[in-house]
Chains A and B, each alone.
Chain A
Amino acid sequence: MTENNVLVQVLCLRKYFPLGGGLFGGKTGLVKAVDGISFEIRRGETLGLVGESGCGKSTTGRAILQLHKPTSGQVFFEDTDLTRLSAEELRRLRPKMQMIFQDPYASLNPRHSVGKIVGEPLVIHKVMRKGSQELEDRVAELLELVGMDPSYVRRFPHEFSGGQRQRIGIARALSLNPSFIVCDEPISALDVSIQAQVVNLMQDLQQQLGLTYLLIAHDLSMVKHVSHRIAVMYLGKIMELADRNALFDNPLHPYTQSLNSAVPLPVPRLERQRRRFILKGDPPSPAFPPSGCVFHTRCPLAIEKCVAVEPEPSDPYPGHTVVCHLADQSGRSKIPELGGRAEK
């Protein structure tokens, strides 16, 4: 991997939120939503970021785009450290980094026409003038790009279904020719038959325009389908990061293994025979993360070291990073119920 291949580099990113609720609105603690994560996103790839609710995946996306000011850490976009930029410098870089949101109902202004929604970024960034022919042409082009009839420009969001609204959101994100798009649960509010439409569109656009995606989602099957590499988050930390097939064929972290085993397969015969390991309990609160490895309270393989010492990332295989004391090539980090080797 040459340096040039990396579009976004995240270094030890942290985002803590103060916990309110004390008497007179005082702070009573910190929620460590994102707690020291590092990874890179390569040009033209889709990096999937998966995890369950509250694991900090959405906060990570927003902190990368500086929509949440990171508590500490660095985010390099090409060669620029976004965390050190002034508001004005950041504004000039914004066109290159865009976002697609989860809720197609809440993310479009109901009082603006489709034309205004899609064209607005161009006007705000003074690329084109309001009311110009050039702008009208560009909006029509964008609508066509996302598979919508350009004659819809004068219609309003309420006239469209969820899938069409998500297309409008995508057209808006593409208007400034970005190179990087953070997609935060882009299809989870949509019906199954519509999800496939939107996913196919996102993949086509990536090919056509050479886009780089950070895809934040909780649906493992869909993330695997779309992503080239996948990072698994738990309680503000990345537990494992690997190529899509490596992560599913040879998951090293016990959390990744249990997550894989919990996803139902839409094949009754396989589903009935499958080996399964069911995690016990609920994830702990990110306001009071456990000591040592944050997963130790639910990990079936945890040893004393896991309670006391926080594990460092290691790469048992090239390009396969895992944060677990047990993970190595010996297979001792595999859960026995899932066919792994029992060794304690």
Chain B
Amino acid sequence: MPAILKVRNLVTKFHTLDGIVNAVNGVSFDLHEGETLAIVGESGSGKSVTVMSLLGLIPSPPGQVEGGTALFSGPGGQRDLLKLSRQELREVRGGQIGFVFQDPISSLNPILTIGEQIAESLVRHQMMSREKARERSIELLTVVGIPDPRQRYGNYPHQFSGGMRQRVMIAIAIACSPEIVIADEPTTALDVTIQAQILDLFKRLRETLGMAVIWITHDLGVVAGIAERVLVMYGGRVLEIAPVDDLYERPQHPYTHGLLGALPRLDERESRRLVSIKGNPPDLLIPVRHCPFAWRCEYAFDRCWQEIPPLSPAGIQHKVACFYSIEQGGPRSD
């Protein structure tokens, strides 16, 4: 499957009063056409900053994308997202790349009707006439499952529930038939039954529209149901990337291993003791010259404290940044 987006060595830093926050430290990955790639990580892992950097949405100052490339193969040929002008980025965002954020109430304009907000995107990116955009917006509201779309077109965001607002955000994201949709924790603020509705909607849309999706989340349960490949981030780096089944069945990085063991499961009858990962998340103010997980890793040995492990093959389409092999019970052979 050809890559629609190739990210290489992305580096993003925040210059704060406390010092330099090393938020993203050389992240590389490919997004293939039509696939759903999940980026998983805990708070401060750099998962959101990674995609914000790609979209040019890092507030600057204090943030700064300091290196890397992000080659996007859109209809207009291949372009580096990190080198686009503000104007060009604005055309890509909401056009060829749609996005959905965690909190729909702060992403929607409270003083415009939701219909106007969907139509705006169509008028701007697809040069549609007002009337045509209105008709298309009503269609989109139907597609995302909003009842009485014609009446709801004239409603304001506060008249919608959280789940309904997220549906509106999705309608805006898919309005211009994007190549990629980036979804940053889109269901985290929602109750579990509403989350199930939104996940179901996303899966249906992906089947009918065929766009590629980057799904950012901390929830490994959600990932299991929606992603084809998973990328695990920690301390602003990629620790592991693999097809979803392989990642859950043969996690190679001790961190991924620990995360999966830390999750209670609804289908377990007997309560086992949860695996806890000792220690605390990394302090991003301290630049590291070794494995970012070494402090918390029960397998860490000399080499882990001396160099940063590179992402290396560990199976079919499976890569891991770790010098130790849990399966072999010793250092990974190069």
Residues of chain A touching chain B, judged by Cβ–Cβ distance below 8 Å, are 52-53, 161, 163-164, 191-197, 199-200, 203, 218, 220-222, 224-226, 245, 248-249, 258-272, 276, 278-280, 282-283
Contacts and interface: CB of A to CB of B under 8 A. Distances in A.
A248 B264 CA distance: 14
The SS class assigned to the A binding surface is helix
Contact of A191 (B191, B218, B273): B218
B281 A161 contact: yes
B262 to A, nearest CB: 4
Given A194-B281, A196-B276, 13 more contacts: A164-B280, A191-B43, A192-B218, A193-B42, A193-B281, A195-B262, A220-B192, A226-B271, A258-B193, A265-B267, A268-B248, A278-B193, A279-B196
The 6 closest A-B pairs by CB, nearest first: A264-B221, A225-B264, A52-B191, A196-B262, A262-B196, A191-B42
B274 A225 contact: yes
Interface string B185-209: 0000001111111011000000000
Contact of B195 (A225, A258, A262): A262
A261 to B, nearest CB: 8
Contacts of B86: none
Contacts of B218: 191-192
Contacts of A270: 224, 267
Contacts of B219: 264
Contacts of B163: 282
Contacts of A161: 280-281
Contact of B193 (A197, A248, A259): A259
A245 B193 contact: no
B111 interface: no
A192 B257 CA distance: 12
B259 interface: yes
B274 A200 contact: yes
Which of B222, B280, B281 is most buried by chain A, counting CB atoms within 10 A of its CB?
Answer: B280
Report which residue of B193, B245, B263, B273 has the largest number of chain A beta carbons within 10 angstroms of its beta carbon.
Answer: B193
Nearest to B247: A268
A280 B198 CA distance: 11
B220 interface: yes
A262 B190 CA distance: 12
A269 B275 CA distance: 22
A15 to B, nearest CB: 21
Nearest to A160: B280
A221 B277 contact: no
A246 to B, nearest CB: 11
B196 A266 contact: no
Interface string B222-266: 111100000000000000000011001000000000111111111
B161 interface: yes
A224 B264 contact: yes
A203 B271 CA distance: 11
A192 B248 CA distance: 16
B258 A53 contact: no
B269 A192 contact: no
7 contacts: A52-B194, A196-B276, A226-B264, A248-B266, A260-B266, A271-B221, A276-B196
Contacts of A264: 199, 219, 221-222, 224-225
B103 to A, nearest CB: 14
B265 A266 contact: yes
